[in-house]
């Protein structure tokens, strides 16, 4: 397996993995996530890869993209209550279902941590949804700790 920085030509392969992950989210949190046509994933991923602040990587086995991650540096200004800080925010990570549990996600995280070290960042931050227990266990096994929980309540049945 090889980890490398994503290029524009990788967008279509990344989008196929992204669609699988997104559809799982749609199935679990339909009030928040919407169904998206496949071509929209490719279009969106091309824009993400082109952003100058994006660090996007892919995992390849025999030149086939089997996993990806997208992150960027987030600067948080000081306020009356929050210290100024800077960290690497892991916006997306995904491994093709047929290639899971082979260490690909672990290698993607290791590459992200190394990138953060190179940029002199002291922390990598990510979000995951409560229903995604497999992802939560994975991130915790890599050393991530739960920092916050977000709760929501539907006001009426039409809000679902």
In the block, which residue shows the tokens 């082109």? 50
Percent of the chain with pLDDT over 70: 98
Q: 109-136, pLDDT tens digit by residue?
A: 999 999 999 999 999 999 999 999 999 9
- The mean pLDDT of 28-54, rounded to a whole number, is 90
Q: Does domain 2-159 have CATH number 3.40.630.30?
A: yes
pLDDT of 103 higher than 90: yes
Segments making up each domain of the chain, as ranges: 2-159
pLDDT score for 134: 93
> CA dist 109 to 47, 67, 96, 122, Å?
22, 11, 15, 15
List Cα–Cα distances, 125 to 78, 120, 143, 160, in angstroms. 18, 14, 11, 29
Find which of 42-46, 112-116, 146-150 is predicted with most confidence, using mean pLDDT: 112-116
CA distances from 93 to 21, 129, 151 (A): 9, 13, 23
Long-range contacts of 24-33 (CB under 8 A, 24+ apart): 24/132, 25/129, 28/129, 28/131, 28/132, 29/129, 29/131, 30/160, 31/154, 31/159, 31/160
Q: For position 159, what pLDDT does the model report?
A: 60
Global pTM exceeds 0.85: yes
Specify the pairing of strand 85-95 against strand 124-126.
parallel
Tokens of 55: 């660090």
Cα 130 to its chain centre, rounded Å, is 15
Residue 52, both tokens = 């100058």
Confidence of residue 50 (pLDDT cuts 50, 70, 90): very high
Measured torsion, CA atoms of residues 147, 117, 93, 110, in degrees rounded to the nearest 10: -100
CA 52 to chain CA centroid, nearest Å: 17
């Amino acid at each position: 397996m090889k980890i490398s920085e994503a290029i524009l030509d990788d967008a279509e392969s990344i989008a196929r993995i992204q669609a699988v992950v997104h559809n799982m989210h749609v199935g679990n949190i339909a009030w928040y996530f919407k169904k998206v046509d496949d071509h929209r994933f490719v279009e969106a991923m091309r824009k993400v890869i082109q952003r100058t602040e994006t660090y996007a990587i892919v995992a390849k086995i025999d030149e086939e993209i089997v996993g990806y991650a997208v992150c960027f540096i987030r600067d948080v200004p000081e306020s009356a209550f929050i210290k100024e800080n800077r960290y690497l925010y892991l916006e997306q990570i995904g491994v093709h279902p047929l290639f899971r549990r082979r260490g690909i996600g672990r290698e993607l995280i290791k590459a992200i941590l190394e990138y953060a070290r190179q940029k002199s960042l002291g922390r990598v931050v990510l979000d995951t949804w409560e229903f995604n227990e497999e992802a939560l266990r994975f991130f915790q096994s890599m050393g991530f700790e739960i920092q916050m929980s977000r709760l929501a309540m539907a006001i009426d049945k039409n809000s679902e």
